[in-house]
Structure 1
C-alpha cells in the first residue's frame, strides 16, 4: 500500500489506468453523468462528515492495555479506495460519502477542572464510535427496470465491536462491493461482494483483504439475480400476506423460527415497506395492485436506511436473499420461503 496515496483531492474523482481486470462483461462503461436527487445512503441517527474532519478534528482510540492505536476510520476508507484503484483498471471513483454516529466526547488534561460550558474548541476531543462510507464508480453502470445502477464500494467500522480495554488484537471491519440505485440511492449488496467480519492487524493487511474481495466479486452474477426479480410479481393479496407474515416472524416460537429462513427487518421497517407499497414515487404498486419483485426488493432496501450503522449492511444483504427466496417460492412451492406468501 502506498503511504503517500491521497484519493481525497477535491476534483470529483481520479482516473487510474493500471491494475488487475475485473470480469464485468454485462456492465456498460459510460462517461455520461446523469442527474438524480442526492439522498443519504443511510439515515437513522447518522450525520455526514468529511474525510478532512475525520483526519484533522478527531482523535484515534487506542487499546488501553498497551496504548497501541486502532486503525482509524479515515485509514479504512483510504485503504479501500486505493485497493479499488489498484484492482480495477481505468476507473474513476467519486469522493466517498461518509456518515457517522455515536459521537464520543472528551477533553484534554489541561481542561480537567473546567465545566463543560467553559471548554474551548481546542480543549475538546471527539471521535465517532461508528462509521459507514460508500464510494461510487460512475463510469461502470447497468440498467434494471429503468433504474440506473452504479458500481459502488463501501464499508462499516464499529469501535463498539472491539475490546478497547484489552491489548491490541485483530480489528473488525465490514466491506462490500455492489451497486447503488441512482434513483433512490438504495444500496444493492450480494453474498460474494460482502464480508461482514473482516479481521486484520494493520492497514496493509486491510488493503490486501479488500483487494481480494474486489477481485473475486462477480458483478455479472449479482446483476443476473437482480434482473430476474423483475420477471416475477406478487398480487395485492400475496403482498398483504407477505407483510403480515413478516410481522409475525419475530414472534414465532423458537422451534418454528428455525424452520424458516431469516428475515432481519424490524416491525417498524416492515410498516415502512407497507406504506411505500402505496406511496413511494418509484417503487409503488401497479394500478391493479400487483408489484414486481424488483420493486419489492427496493422497498426493503429503502426501509433499511433506518437501520443503525452496525446492522445496515447485514440487513441490506438479507433484503436480496429474502427477495430472491420469495422469487423461488413463486416458482417452486417446495421453497422454504413459501411460508411468507402462503
Structure 2
C-alpha cells in the first residue's frame, strides 16, 4: 500500500480535544462552532459520481450560504447541519492523517424541502424572488478521498476514502432535541468506476450524537479501529474465486426468489438487501459492463461480481446506500466461502 503517512494494520489516531468549547446550562460541553474548514470548489466530475439515484451535486459553500438549518420544533434547538457533519468529519480525518492531502469533498443531496419567508406568504410561486425562497435537503451523502493512501486489487487502483450519510427523515424534528443520527464509513474507492468498497469493520450504521464533540469522537474511534490491511486482504482474497455462467445465473435467480420467501425460511438465510431492480442491473452488466463483465467463456470472478453489486448500488437512495454497500461485500465474501467449500449459509444461493 502506498502512503506518505500510513501505519500498516490498525490506523493510528492522533486524538485531540477541540479547544473552542462552550459550557451549557445542562453541563454539556459543545464546540462554540464546528471545526473550521477551508472552502473547496465543487468536485471535478471527470468520472461518474459515487452515488446517482435521485441525487444532485452541491458544493459546501451552497450548503453553508444558501440552505436553512432545521430545528427541533418543541424547543427550537438547532440540528447539527449537513455542512457541520462534513466539517467535523474533515477535522477528525485531518487529526489521524495530518500529512495527507485530501481531495475536495464530493457532496450529493436529495429530497429538497422548499419553503418561503413570511413576507412571501401570499406571493404566487412563479413570482417568488430568490430572497423569498428557503430550502434545505432532507438527505445528504459525502466522501473525501485520500489519494496518497492507495493499493491495487485485480489491476484496479483503490484510494482510501471516508464519508458519511445524514438523513433528517430519521429524526423526529417535531419533538425536543435529542441524540441525532449519522452514518459514517472508512473504506476504499475503485478509481475505475468510483464504486465504494465498504466492509463491516469500517462502517458505523448509527452514530448518535448531541454535539460536534460527540460526533468527532465517535468518528475518531471508527477510524482508529479500522484495519485497512485486513480489508484489502479480504478484497484480494475474493479475486481467487470465479463463477461459471451457470453459477452466476443460479445466484441471480435465487436472489430474485429471496425477496418472496416465507418469513420463517428467510430468517434462516443471510440478509440480501439488494432489490429486484438492483438484481436486474447486475444481470444486465454481467453482459454489458465495460470493466467487470463476464469472460468470453461466461465465467466471472468474484471481484468483478462484487463490483457489479456496488455499481448497481449507486441507484440506491442516500439513506440505504451505505448499508447496501456493506451488504454487497458480505454477500461476495459469503459466496467465496461456499466456493472454498466452507460451511456457509450462503450455499442456498448456489444450491
**Aligned residues of 2:306 and 2:332 also touching (Cα < 8 A):** yes
Q: Which residue of 1 aligns with 2:72?
A: 63
1:1-342 equivalences under 5 Å are: 1=18, 3=33, 5-10=35-40, 37-332=46-341, 334-342=343-351
SS in 1 for 2:123: coil
Q: Measured at CA, do residues 198 and 5 of structure 1 come closer, stay the same or move farther in structure 2, by a change above 3 Å?
A: closer
Q: Measured at CA, do residues 245 and 44 of structure 1 come closer, stay the same or move farther in structure 2, by a change above 3 Å?
A: same
User: TM-score by structure 2 length?
Assistant: 0.89
SS in 2 for 1:295: helix
User: TM-score by structure 1 length?
Assistant: 0.91
Q: Displacement, 1:332?
A: 2.1
Q: How many residues are matched?
A: 321
My pick for the range that moved more, 332-341 or 92-101, is: 332-341
**Aligned residues of 1:49 and 1:98 also touching (Cα < 8 A):** yes
Quick one: distance in 2 between partners of 1:217 and 1:12? Answer: 29
Q: Measured at CA, do residues 340 and 40 of structure 1 come closer, stay the same or move farther in structure 2, by a change above 3 Å?
A: same
Quick one: distance in 1 between partners of 2:47 and 2:73? Answer: 40
SS in 1 for 2:137: strand
Quick one: distance in 2 between partners of 1:226 and 1:234? Answer: 16
Runs of 4+ residues deviating >6 angstroms: none
**Aligned residues of 2:34 and 2:212 also touching (Cα < 8 A):** no
Q: Measured at CA, do residues 284 and 252 of structure 1 come closer, stay the same or move farther in structure 2, by a change above 3 Å?
A: same
State the Cα deviation string for residues 104-148 of structure 1 (Å, max 9, x = none): 000111111111111100000000000000010000000000000
Gap runs ≥5 in structure 1:
14-34
Q: Displacement, 1:11?
A: 8.1
State the Cα deviation string for residues 284-333 of structure 1 (Å, max 9, x = none): 01111111000000000000000000000000000000000000011126
Q: Displacement, 1:212?
A: 1.1
Q: Displacement, 1:203?
A: 1.0
RMSD between aligned residues: 1.7
Q: Displacement, 1:36?
A: 10
**Aligned residues of 1:170 and 1:200 also touching (Cα < 8 A):** yes
Gap runs ≥5 in structure 2:
1-17, 21-32
